[in-house]
Amino acid sequence: MTRSARTILPPEALDPTDRAILNALQDGFPITPRPYDDAGAALGITGAELIDRIARLREIGAITRFGPFFDAAAMGGAFCLCAMAVPADRWDEVLTKVNAHPQVAHNYERTHALNMWFVLATDTPEGITRTAQAIEAETGLDVMLFPKLEEYFIGFRVQA
């Protein structure tokens, strides 16, 4: 993941149709028998072309994912933003231990004393505490929990 993470696509990598797909498909996708045909029709392309283009967008790293976005809380589970202050000389070791947990959905290095920020997604609210405690036990470092109290915006809106 980190290999492509540093790559910026040249502007010519995306043509106007790719940009239209990126903009339109951030909002949603039909739940119909032939959804690519239906979504393609709105963009003026065939379903087959839409499939090819999404596959290519994924291949070149323009998108990270295409599919359903689940709300862990609505499934009875939970999300929680967490942060750790990881000493530089222990970075790789701690990163390996943190990322080994399948509950760690996203993880970012950030510019702060709290330099590792990740999201835990678990089946149950108790899973957040359990996973955080496991990481603390494995690393000997504090895991700070920042659960959301109120949400003012959901999702993405990148103008491609």
Partner 1 sequence: MTAANPRGMAPLDAIDRRIVRATQAGLPLTPQPYAEIAAVLDLTEAEVIDRIAAMQERGIIRRIAIAPHHYALGMTANGMSVWDVADDRISDLGARIGALPYVTHCYQRPRALPQWPYNLFAMLHGSGRDEVEAKRREVAAILGDACRGSDILYSTRILKKTGLRLAD
Q: Is 68 in the site for partner 1 (CB under 8 A)?
A: yes
**To the nearest whole angstrom, how small is the minimum distance from the Cβ of residue 137 to partner 1?**
20
Q: Name the amino acid, one letter, at 134.
A: A
Q: Does the CA dihedral 97-103-106-108 come out positive or negative? A: negative
| Contact residues for 141 (Cβ-Cβ < 8 A; gap 6+) | 84, 85, 86, 94, 135
Residues in 38-67 that interact with partner 1 by CB under 8 A: 47-48, 51, 54-55, 57, 60-67
Binding mask 1-30 for partner 1 (x = CB under 8 A): xx-xxxxxx-x--x------xx--xxxxx-
Q: Binding partner 1 by CB under 8 A: which of 45, 118, 128, 135? A: 118
Cα–Cα dist 48/45, whole Å: 8
The smaller minimum CB distance to partner 1, of residues 44 and 68, is found at 68
First to last CA, the chain: 21
78 binds partner 1 (CB under 8 A): no
- Ramachandran class of 139: left when φ > 0, alpha when ψ lies in -120 to 50, beta otherwise: alpha
Q: Are strands 144-146 and 116-122 parallel, antiparallel or unpaired?
A: unpaired
Give me the least distance between CB of 86 and partner 1, in Å please.
Answer: 11
Residue 107 sits in the site that holds partner 1 (CB under 8 A): yes
CB of 15 to partner 1, least distance (A): 14
Q: Is 74 a residue that touches partner 1 (CB under 8 A)? A: yes
- 133 sits near partner 1 (criterion: CB under 8 A): no
Q: Contacts with partner 1: how many residues (CB under 8 A)?
A: 83
Nearest residue to 86 via CA among 131, 144, 133 = 144
